[in-house]
Amino acid sequence: MDGMDGMDDSQQQDYYSLLGVEPTATLDQIRRAYRQQVARYHPDRFVDATAREQIAASRHVQRINEAHRVLSNQRLRAAYNSTLGIDTPGASTAALDDLNRLADAPPLRRKPHPTHPPTSAEYQAELYQRAKAYLEAEQYPQAIADLRQLQKLNPFYADSTTLLLRAESLHRQTTTDAPLTSTRPVVAPPRARAPRRARRGFNTAWITPVFGVVLMCSLLGLLVYSLPQLLPLLAPRPVVQAPATQQTPQATLIPLNPAPDAAADRVDDSEPDVPFEPPSAAPAAGGIAQLPEPTPEPTATPPPPTPTEDALSAAALLNGPLLDSDDFATQLGWSEAFGNGWSAAFAGETYNITAVPETNLIWSYSTINTSAPFVVLADVVVNGDAGGVLPSFVDAQNYIACLVAPAQASFVIIQREAGARVVLAEGVSDVIRTAPAAINRIACTLAEGQVQMAVNNQLVASLSSNAPRVAQYGLGAEAITQATEVIFDNLEIRTLE
């Protein structure tokens, strides 16, 4: 189109001429004119035009947008008027004749887009919302069925793993005598057809022996043909033993009520826990939770701990000056990760850690900016075996964990030193709340070579430990006999009084 050669002349027009308004136009008039011009020269109206015409339309719309941005701002408009002058005549619009003709023409009717069935993402969202509704209505089998189907489609969808573990745990609590079954309807097997009667006068007795002879001949020929290739495979090979670091860790059951003469000296020499481990020996930044990896067998067993009588009061653990707190509402400071049966993620306004017996202790840690002894306090809900806080976390092979097991009304303090796991203290206490979904407030500290633990404002254990005190602490969940979910809330870090 010949007029398109002068299309760049529109770049010389003043903003008022581009929008088709007077210099004295109001803000409403400018906005109305802007919408009309954009609709008129929008590139969608030039889908059948030439490439040059489409480029010209696109540039013209950009110029219109710039004019609206300047003239709709009072300060920019005043500066523009001072540089342009109100009486400046508009430039020639001959270059827009062809563009105006195309803009005034009715838009072409496009072919309708084909409709598509719901996408996989939409179906996953529908399964997730429906499962949450079933869970809230306490219809656990239906929720489990939808969550299992969602897991097959997308194992990492939102917190579906956490919801599935919760639904299965609640279902087991409500139906302890019946195993968890699928909610799919039972379909009767198809009815077997009666065998057809053989035709009269046709003897089939010879088919079976002939077919057997043919099959044996075929197998013999295949064996003779494949013998040269099979001989190298049948030669003996040296036995190679995998390194110890690649062995799969096994779940270990730690009894929480030992005999009095063995409680203080018991050391668990089984495979180490599978932690939420940083990728190197040095700890990562605060709040970083990594995938679990196998850890080597310990080469030495640390000496058993000795109890101490010099215990702080429960008030000293609970009422010190507040250093930091976290209600997990902002979902910052703690990372989210998922694995095969375990997870650590935010859920609403709580932080949840799940574990299965194959993983043992799953942890996530953070850092507090202090050099003074401090206490870690948190509200803990345990659905399964045990969970609690880590008052000292050096790395995956060196930490202290204070855990409660409400199902047994028991507590346990674990020290891992150089990969060896030692039970420092354990016992049963009536201060531990045992009702389903009960909240237990745990406080634990490591100060001056002493580990002290309080549950629900009552001191339950105080003993000495050689573990180093560091500025890193954590949260943990331990699965021993069943899948476990631990819900954390109202986290506080306080100094000792």
Alpha-carbon gap, residue 161 to 151, rounded angstroms: 8
Whether residue 183 is predicted with pLDDT greater than 50 in this model: the reply is no
Residue 40 pLDDT grade (very low, low, confident, very high; cuts 50, 70, 90):
confident
3-state secondary structure of 459: strand
The pLDDT of residue 276 is 44
198 contact partners, CB below 8 Å, separation of at least 6? 204
Rg of the chain on CA atoms, in Å: 37
pLDDT at 253: 34
In this prediction, residues 17-35 reach a mean pLDDT of 92
Give the position of tokens 């919408």: 35
* pLDDT tens readout for residues 336-370: 898 888 889 998 889 999 999 877 789 898 999 88
Q: What is the pLDDT of residue 405?
A: 96
Pairing of strands 374-383, 440-447: antiparallel
CA-wise closest residue to 275 among 361, 382, 206: 361
Across 89-98, 104-113, 228-237, least confident range: 89-98
CA dist., res. 53 & res. 73, Å (int): 31
Q: What is the pLDDT of residues 459-473, one digit of tens each?
A: 999 999 889 989 999
Range picked from 114-123, 193-202, 225-234 for highest mean pLDDT: 225-234
pLDDT band at residue 202 under the 50/70/90 scheme: low
pLDDT at 235 over 60: no
pLDDT(282) > 80: no
- The pLDDT of residue 423 is 94
Lowest-confidence segment of 87-91, 110-114, 406-410 by average pLDDT? 87-91
Distance from C-alpha of 138 to C-alpha of 2, rounded to nearest angstrom? 74
The two structure tokens encoding residue 388: 């609690």
What does the pLDDT read at residue 195? 54
The chain-wide mean pLDDT, for the chain, equals 75
Apex CA 335: angle with CA 159 and CA 483, to 5°? 45
The type of residue at 409 is A
Work out the average pLDDT over 241-249: 36
Q: For residues 392 and 473, is the Cβ–Cβ distance under 8 A?
A: yes
Burial bucket for residue 10 (CB in 10 Å: 0-12, 13-18, 19+):
buried
* Alpha-carbon distances of 128 from 82, 263, 303, 354, rounded to whole Å: 60, 46, 50, 19
Nearest to 350 by CA among 380, 323, 376: 380
For the domain made up of 2-104, give the CATH fold: Helix Hairpins (1.10.287)
pLDDT at 71: 92
Confidence of residue 122 (pLDDT cuts 50, 70, 90): confident
Across 79-83, 245-249, 389-393, 491-495, least confident range: 245-249
Report long-range pairs for 303-307 (Cβ below 8 Å, ≥24 apart). 304/264, 304/265, 304/267, 304/422, 305/264, 305/415, 305/422, 305/424, 305/425, 305/463, 305/464, 305/465, 306/463, 306/464, 307/264, 307/425, 307/462, 307/463, 307/464
pLDDT of residue 390: 94
94 vs 416, more confident? 416
Q: In CATH, what number does 267-495 get? A: 2.60.120.560
- Flag whether pLDDT at 447 surpasses 90: no
List the single range of 96-105, 126-135, 310-319, 400-409 with lowest mean pLDDT: 96-105
pLDDT in tens, 300-348: 454 554 444 445 677 777 888 999 999 998 878 888 898 888 889 998 8
DSSP 307: B
Q: What is the pLDDT of residue 101?
A: 57
- % pLDDT > 90, the chain: 35
Model confidence pTM above 0.75: no
